[in-house]
Structure 1
Amino acid sequence: MQNNQWLDHSTVYAQHHSTFYRWVLYPVIGVLVLGSLFLFLGKTEVVIRTKARITSLETKKLQTPINAKIKVNHLAENKEVKKGELLLSFDTTGIEIEKQQLEQQNTSLQEQQQAIHTFIDSLNQEKNLFAAEDSYGYANRVNVYLAAKEEIQESNQQLRTNQQQQQDAFNKTNTQLTDQLTKRQAEQSQWQQVRSAWAGQQALAGFPSDITSKYQTWQAQLAASPDEQKEELKATILSTIDTQLSQLKNEIEQLQLEQGKLAAPPSAEHEINGQATKNTQSKEQAISEAKQKLSEITETIAHNNSSLQSLNEQLKNSQLLAPSDGVLHLNEESKNISELPKGSLVAELYPNQPKDSMAFTAQIPANQMSHVKIGMPVHFKLDKKGVTEKRIDGTLTRIAETSDLTKDGAFYQVEGQLPIEDQAVTRYGLTGDLSLVVGKKSYWQKIKDILLNQE
């Protein structure tokens, strides 16, 4: 008991308390103070993370220049090529055959054009200007037209001859009837005068001899007849004169009836003019159709010339040559395909590997673009499974003016430069994680934002 009394002494308790502060409490307080200083004074970067790809901003797309089967293919992944080096050669047999066919068609169309021009000139001048028969029948059509015209002319001449003969016959008959009618009317007038003279027993003078002779005979008979018979004889002779007048009247009426029925022959000019008009219309229609055909041929030749120009351009582009020195990166979708449509992307030509820096491209969501600025620092880490990652620091150099709308939303394309510090980086097409440094904040603020769900 006496040996343990020293443990109850106050000095021992003081020594225990001092040891606790020195080895436990003070270090804990120090750690807390240093931790607080680190939380409030220490800074961490605020970044926007996305995927990026090493690329070239001067990439040239190599596309098939024509629609043709590939005959020679010198494309290979990561192949270094020189400017003017043959990359692809195309089989142009089909194009050459098509060109030959179009040229032959154009030659035939041009010959037909010339034949149509000669045909139109022949119709306008109404004579055959063809030196020989053509392959399109235009010379024969001119001959048919000229023969038809000659036949119409002969027909018109015959119509005029017939019409003239009919007119002559009409004129002759009409003249005869007119003469007879005039003669009978003159006789009627004379006999009317004879009747008046006989009725008044007047002398008759200035009449034809036959009438004068009859009149004198009647006068002699009257003078020789007894007085009691004179009146009867006068009446008998007067009746004879009336009979003559009645006969003349009937003859005049008959002649007038015949002359009234007599009709002049119709003029042949109407039929002649109709045939001439029909012939002119036929010629004008033939010329119009020829001009329409000429227009169609001209249009076809122009279309063929346009096609020939395109074919010549295709023949000129029957080889795809490297536009500059660089490295090939093949399009996976076009590999091992022997025939591609014109304009199909077969490869991309990257410039030779730069020595100082390389470019990268990335897509940033539109809702994160408010803090992204040109010139801001970036960190790039290559995708390397199982290998220690190396961070490359670079700079953002370009932001697209407008966003691209995709099924995942709106994105802006950004570009930047990375210094070349490791040859492993100097390969186009490599991908990695890109961090865009938009600012810094204390660790305390970061923890606070996490707790308050403000990140």
Structure 2
Amino acid sequence: MQPPFKSPRASQSNTEGTSNRSARLPPDLPIQETHETSQEESTSIQGGIAGTLDPVAQIPRSSTSTSHTPIAIANPSTTRWSPSVDTLLNQPPASFPTRLIVGGMAFGAVFGAWAWFGTIEEVGQATGRLVPEGQTYKIQPTEVGKVNRVEVREGQAVKAGQILVELDTELAQKEVERLEQMLTAYQGEITQKQILLERIQMEAQTSAASSMAEQLAQRSAIALAREKAATTRQLLMQQRSEAVAYQARKARLAPLASTAEERLDQLQIELKAHQKRLNRLKPLLEEGAVPQDYIFQAEQALRETQQRITQTQMQDITSVNEQLFQSEQSLRDLATNITQNQGELTSAYKEAEQLQAQLSQKQADALRIQLEAQQRIEQLELDIAQTKAKIADTQTSLLAAKTRVRNNYLKAPVDGIVLSLNLQNSGEVLQAGQTVAEIAPHGVPLVLAAVLPNSEAGFVKTGMPVHVKLDAYPYQDFGTISGKVANLSADTKPDEKLGQVFRVEVQLDKDYVTDKQRKIQFRAGQTATADIIIRRRRIADLLLDPIRQIQKDGINL
């Protein structure tokens, strides 16, 4: 009988166990082997379970003694098992569970990596239609009017300035003619008033110049009169000063006359004294009592005294009297001149006052004339200003009337195509602000004007990528058109279906689709749906969102 099948794992374990146990035996303990054991023969069945026979278990507890007792080791080859146990031991281990576990672990690792590193796009859908960038041009009348002619049809290409619709201009043209007549009348009136104003201004300037010349002449006369009065007053003061001087001289000459008289009397006394002396000396000379020289000296003194008397009488007294006479005569002349000059001074003052009064009167007359002219000028200027205001109002009304006439011709503002025309026949009455037609300009790229619900606009920003699906070209056949968010309105606006919405403008990367190598250009007005890539989230976050929501609601897992 062959030994039972040994598992390699069990054999390896047995080998390791045997080597470990052998290592724990005392070095001096003899081991008696009844059979040469091998790594495969060290297994045994105990209690019907495959296991490893521990050789150490067969060593008695007294093995620690110093006696050398042989140890018997069981030989598995001599053990006998039941057929069922042999079959179980000989059957190889099953690999499916191991493979299932390994496959599950690999799947979990791959799924975890995919969920962790993989992302999914969250998109917000905005619906709208294609419009030219900058919107279309809406043609609207500014006033109520009746349609005379319709010059274009829907889809027709038009040039800038081309007439689209002609409205009735009869009433507006009559208003223009009436205002032009009023403007002509006002302009003639203002011309006449302007001429009258210039004439009055010229007269006022001439009168002012004449009055100014008269006033200058009057001021010159006043200046001359005042100068004459000043000269007369100065002369009068000088004459009065001379009179005072003559009075002082006369006062000084009066004592001189008395002095001359006294001196003459003194000389007369001296003369008498010298005569008496001479008379006394002459008898003595005859007697010879005195010398002849004494007589000569006495006679000489007598003659000198007589001479001095004569000189005093002829010079001093006469000169003083003449000076007194001259002073009195000068005083009389000065008094006459002073009286005359006083009259001239009074006359000069009166003349200056009269001239000043005349000057004041002329100034008052000139001021009155100037004020009257100024009042007339101001009145004319007021009339002219009022007329100019009427002209300005009339010109404004005329410009408005001409504008109404021009506005009755609805023209294309730019080169483009008539997208829509809301007129059928002539004779229709249009209301102010009513859209008659829409013009899409040439050469302007198309953009998608869409509305985005408020609930999906939280993360939308300009520049985000967009995938546009046109309803006219199924995306299953033609794919989507790439683009980006070009503009996002700053505030929401109400929408009947979607509630509060944001207006979004999407710029397209191209304005055509290809069908069999043929480009099909988009047209304004085509509807489309824009998928705006709001953000990219990890798949793991999406899977964990329900758990997070439960935890947020207060439920602990």
Category of TM-score, reference length = shorter chain: 0.3 to 0.5
Normalising by structure 2, we get a TM-score of 0.40
* Larger CA Rg, structure 1 vs 2: 2
